[in-house]
A and B are shown apart, each in its own frame.
Chain A
Amino acid sequence: MTALPTPIQPAPPRTTARAQSQLQVAWGQFCRNRLASTGGVFIILLYVLAIFAPFVAPDGLSNYSTTSITRYHAPTPLHFRDPKTGAWGLYVEKFAQTMNPTTFLQEFRPTGEKCPVRWFLPGDTYRILGIAGNLHLFGTGNPNCKIFLWGAEGLGRDLFTRTIYASQISLTIGVLSVLISTLIGMVMGSLAAYFRGWVDNVINRFIEVISAIPYLFLLILLRSLFPQGANPILVLFLLLCILAFISWGDLARTIRSQLLSVREQDYVTAANALGSSQGRIMFRHMLPSMTSYLIVTLSLAIPGTILLESGLSFLGIGAVEPYVSWGTLLNQTQDGGIASITDRPWMLIPGFFIVFTVMCYQLLGDGLRDAFDPRKRQ
Chain B
Amino acid sequence: MVTFLFRRLLNLLPTFLLATVLVFSIIQLAPGDFLTPAKLNPGISEQQLRNLAEQFGLNKPVWQQYFQWLWNLLHGNLGLSFSYTQPVLDVAWPRVVNSFKLVLVNLVLFYAISIPLGVYGAVRQYSFGDRISGVVFYFLLGFPSFFLALLTIFGILKFRQATGLNVPMIGMTSDGYDSLGLLGKFWDTLKHLLIPGLVAAVGGVAGFTRVLRGQMLEHLRSDFVRTARSKGVPEFWVIYRHTFRNAIIPFVAGIGGLLPGLIGGAGFVEVVFSYPGITPMLLDAIGAQDFYLVAAFSILPMVLLFLGNAISDILLAVADPRIRFN
**B7-23, CB < 8 A from A:** 14-16, 18-19, 22-23
Q: Compute how far the CA of A227 lies from the CA of B29 in the bound complex, rounded to whole angstroms.
A: 11
Chain A residues lying within 8 Å of B138, measured Cβ to Cβ, are 362
Q: Compute how far the CA of A339 lies from the CA of B31 in the bound complex, rounded to whole angstroms.
A: 37
Q: Compute how far the CA of A351 lies from the CA of B153 in the bound complex, rounded to whole angstroms.
A: 14
- Whether the Cβ atoms of B294 and A216 lie closer than 8 Å is no
Does chain A have a CB within 8 A of B263?
Answer: yes
**A265-283, CB < 8 A from B:** none
* Contact flags B269-304 to A (C-beta < 8 A → 1, else 0): 001101000110011001101000010011001100
* Contact flags A333-346 to B (C-beta < 8 A → 1, else 0): 11000110110010
Residue of A210, A334, A338, A339 with most partner-chain B CB within 10 A: A338
Chain B residues lying within 8 Å of A311, measured Cβ to Cβ, are 144-146, 268
- Whether the Cβ atoms of A205 and B141 lie closer than 8 Å is no
Chain A residues lying within 8 Å of B252, measured Cβ to Cβ, are none
Contacting residue for A220 out of B146, B260, B263, B282, CB 8 A:
B282
Q: Compute how far the CA of A303 lies from the CA of B139 in the bound complex, rounded to whole angstroms.
A: 13
Q: Contacts A217-B297, A342-B154 given: A205-B15 contact, CB under 8 Å? A: yes
* Contact flags B140-163 to A (C-beta < 8 A → 1, else 0): 011111110011011001100100
Q: Compute how far the CA of A339 lies from the CA of B143 in the bound complex, rounded to whole angstroms.
A: 21
Q: Compute how far the CA of A214 lies from the CA of B263 in the bound complex, rounded to whole angstroms.
A: 6
Would you give the shortest CB distance from A330 to chain B, in whole angstroms?
6
- Whether the Cβ atoms of A224 and B170 lie closer than 8 Å is no
Chain A residues lying within 8 Å of B26, measured Cβ to Cβ, are 221-222, 224-225
Q: Contacts A215-B261, A334-B272 given: A351-B144 contact, CB under 8 Å? A: yes
Does chain B have a CB within 8 A of A107?
Answer: no
Number of interface residues of A (CB under 8 A): 47
Does chain A have a CB within 8 A of B104?
Answer: no
* Contact flags A187-216 to B (C-beta < 8 A → 1, else 0): 000000000000000000110111111111
Chain B residues lying within 8 Å of A303, measured Cβ to Cβ, are 142
Chain B residues lying within 8 Å of A310, measured Cβ to Cβ, are 144, 147
- Whether the Cβ atoms of B30 and A224 lie closer than 8 Å is yes
Interface locus among A84-92, A125-133, A156-164, A353-361: A353-361
Q: Compute how far the CA of A132 lies from the CA of B230 in the bound complex, rounded to whole angstroms.
A: 77
Q: Compute how far the CA of A218 lies from the CA of B26 in the bound complex, rounded to whole angstroms.
A: 10
Chain A residues lying within 8 Å of B18, measured Cβ to Cβ, are 205-206, 208-209
Would you give the shortest CB distance from B130 to chain A, in whole angstroms?
17
Q: B257: nearest residue on chain A (CB-CB)?
A: A211
Contacting residue for A359 out of B139, B150, B274, CB 8 A:
B139
- Whether the Cβ atoms of A316 and B298 lie closer than 8 Å is no
Does chain A have a CB within 8 A of B94?
Answer: no
Q: Contacts A213-B22, A225-B26, A228-B287 given: A208-B150 contact, CB under 8 Å? A: no
- Whether the Cβ atoms of A315 and B283 lie closer than 8 Å is yes
Q: Compute how far the CA of A274 lies from the CA of B274 in the bound complex, rounded to whole angstroms.
A: 64
Q: A307: nearest residue on chain B (CB-CB)?
A: B144
Does chain A have a CB within 8 A of B184?
Answer: no
Q: Contacts A214-B261, A221-B298, A334-B272 given: A342-B161 contact, CB under 8 Å? A: yes
Does chain B have a CB within 8 A of A94?
Answer: no
Would you give the shortest CB distance from B142 to chain A, in whole angstroms?
4
Chain B residues lying within 8 Å of A351, measured Cβ to Cβ, are 144, 147, 150-151
Q: Compute how far the CA of A338 lies from the CA of B170 in the bound complex, rounded to whole angstroms.
A: 9
Q: Contacts A338-B170, A339-B157, A348-B150 given: A221-B294 contact, CB under 8 Å? A: yes
Does chain A have a CB within 8 A of B37?
Answer: no
- Whether the Cβ atoms of B147 and A330 lie closer than 8 Å is yes
Chain B residues lying within 8 Å of A227, measured Cβ to Cβ, are 31
Q: Contacts A223-B286, A310-B144 given: A212-B19 contact, CB under 8 Å? A: yes
Does chain B have a CB within 8 A of A248?
Answer: no
Q: Compute how far the CA of A225 lies from the CA of B26 in the bound complex, rounded to whole angstroms.
A: 7
Contacting residue for A208 out of B15, B263, B287, CB 8 A:
B15
Q: A222: nearest residue on chain B (CB-CB)?
A: B26
Does chain B have a CB within 8 A of A314?
Answer: yes
Does chain A have a CB within 8 A of B317?
Answer: no
Q: A224: nearest residue on chain B (CB-CB)?
A: B286
Does chain A have a CB within 8 A of B255?
Answer: no
Q: Contacts A221-B298, A330-B147 given: A315-B154 contact, CB under 8 Å? A: no
What are 14 residue pairs bridging A and B, where the CB atoms are less than 8 Å apart in the complex? A212-B15, A214-B264, A215-B260, A216-B264, A217-B282, A218-B298, A220-B286, A225-B29, A327-B144, A351-B144, A358-B142, A359-B142, A362-B138, A362-B142
Closest 6 CB pairs of A and B: A216-B264, A358-B142, A351-B147, A214-B264, A359-B142, A214-B260
Other CB < 8 Å A-B pairs besides A220-B283, A354-B144, A362-B142, 18 of them? A205-B18, A209-B18, A213-B22, A216-B263, A216-B265, A216-B279, A221-B23, A221-B26, A224-B26, A225-B29, A311-B268, A315-B271, A342-B158, A345-B154, A348-B150, A351-B144, A354-B143, A358-B142
